[in-house]
C-alpha cells in the first residue's frame, strides 16, 4: 500500500536528489478532528525557534489557538472560504514578527519569520503532521482579536494537524486537494543577473 508521503513524492518529481521532507511538505485542507499532543506541538514550535535570524533577534512570535473558544476567536477573522475547511483543524497559529527594536526598525523581520515558518512546516512533516499557511483573513481584525501590538507585523495564519480524507471536503475543495507542482530550476535561478539562464 502506498503511503500518503510516497504518493506525494510520486506526484512531485525532482531533477536532483533532495531530502524527501522538502517534497512531502504540502498544504492540504482536509484535517482530522484529532487533537495534537502537547509534546508534539511544542516540539514543532521549538524547531521553528531554531531558524536563523539577523543578529539573532528572533523576531517571530506564534499565537496558538487550541481550545474550542480560542479556535472560534481565530475563525472569526478568517475569510469565509478558509473558515469552511478550518472548522475541523485542531491547532491554528498566527505568525507575527517584531518590526522594531530599541535600535530602530528591523528590516528582516518578515524574512526571518518566513525562515521560522519553514522550520515549523518541516518539523511538522517529521512528526506526521500537515500544515497549511494562509493570508486569506482580515489582518486588522486579527490584530484586534489577538491583541497584537503595533510594533509586530502579522505575517500569516497556519493550520496544523493530522491529514484527513479529501472526500470529507466540499467537492470544490476536494478536487483541488493535491500537492502542487514546482517550477523547474531554470525558471527560478538566474546566473549573474535577473533573467539570465543558469545553464
Q: Global pTM?
A: 0.92
Distance CA 10, CA 20 (A): 11
Q: Please give the pLDDT value at position 199.
A: 82
**CB-CB neighbours of 29 under 10 Å:** 25
Q: What integer pLDDT is reported at residue 44 of this predicted model?
A: 98
- Spatial contact of 15 and 182, defined as CB atoms under 8 Å apart: no
Cα three-residue angle 92-97-103, rounded to 5 degrees? 165
Three cell numbers written together for 18 = 533532495
Give the rounded percent of residues in the chain with a pLDDT score beyond 90: 77
Domains of the chain: 26-161 (3.40.109.10)
Buried b (16+ CB within 10 A) or exposed e, 136-160: ebeeeebbeebebeeebbbbbbbbb
pLDDT at 4: 59
Residue with cell 473558515: 83
Which DSSP letter does residue 163 get? B
Structure confidence at residue 187 (pLDDT):
92
CA 189 to chain centre: 23
Q: How far apart are CA 166 and CA 61, in angstroms?
A: 31
- Whether the CB-CB separation of 160 and 93 falls below 8 Å is answered with yes
Q: What is the pLDDT along the chain (199 residues), one digit of tens a residue?
A: 445 566 676 788 888 898 999 999 999 999 999 999 999 999 999 999 999 999 999 999 999 999 999 999 999 999 999 999 999 999 999 999 999 988 899 999 999 999 999 999 999 999 999 999 999 999 999 999 999 999 999 999 999 999 988 988 888 888 888 889 899 899 999 999 999 998 8
83 CB burial (10 A radius; 0-12, 13-18, 19+): middle
Amino acid at each position: 500500500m502506498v503511503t500518503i508521503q510516497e504518493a506525494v513524492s510520486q506526484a512531485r518529481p525532482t531533477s536532483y536528489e533532495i531530502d524527501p521532507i522538502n517534497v512531502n511538505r504540502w498544504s492540504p485542507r482536509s484535517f482530522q478532528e484529532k487533537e495534537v499532543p502537547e509534546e508534539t506541538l511544542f516540539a514543532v514550535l521549538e524547531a521553528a525557534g531554531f531558524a536563523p535570524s539577523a543578529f539573532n533577534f528572533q523576531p517571530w512570535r506564534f499565537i496558538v489557538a487550541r481550545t474550542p473558544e480560542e479556535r472560534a476567536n481565530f475563525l472569526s477573522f478568517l475569510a469565509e472560504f478558509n473558515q469552511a475547511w478550518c472548522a475541523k483543524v485542531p491547532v491554528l497559529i498566527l505568525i507575527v514578527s517584531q518590526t522594531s527594536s530599541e535600535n530602530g526598525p528591523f528590516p528582516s523581520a518578515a524574512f526571518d519569520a518566513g525562515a521560522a515558518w519553514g522550520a515549523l512546516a518541516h518539523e511538522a512533516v517529521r512528526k506526521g503532521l500537515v500544515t497549511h499557511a494562509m493570508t486569506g483573513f482580515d489582518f486588522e481584525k486579527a490584530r484586534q482579536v489577538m491583541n497584537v501590538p503595533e510594533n509586530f507585523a502579522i505575517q500569516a495564519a497556519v493550520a496544523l494537524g493530522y491529514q484527513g480524507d479529501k472526500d470529507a471536503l466540499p467537492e470544490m475543495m476536494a478536487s483541488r486537494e493535491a500537492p502542487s507542482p514546482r517550477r523547474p530550476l531554470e525558471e527560478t535561478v538566474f546566473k549573474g543577473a535577473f533573467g539570465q539562464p543558469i545553464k
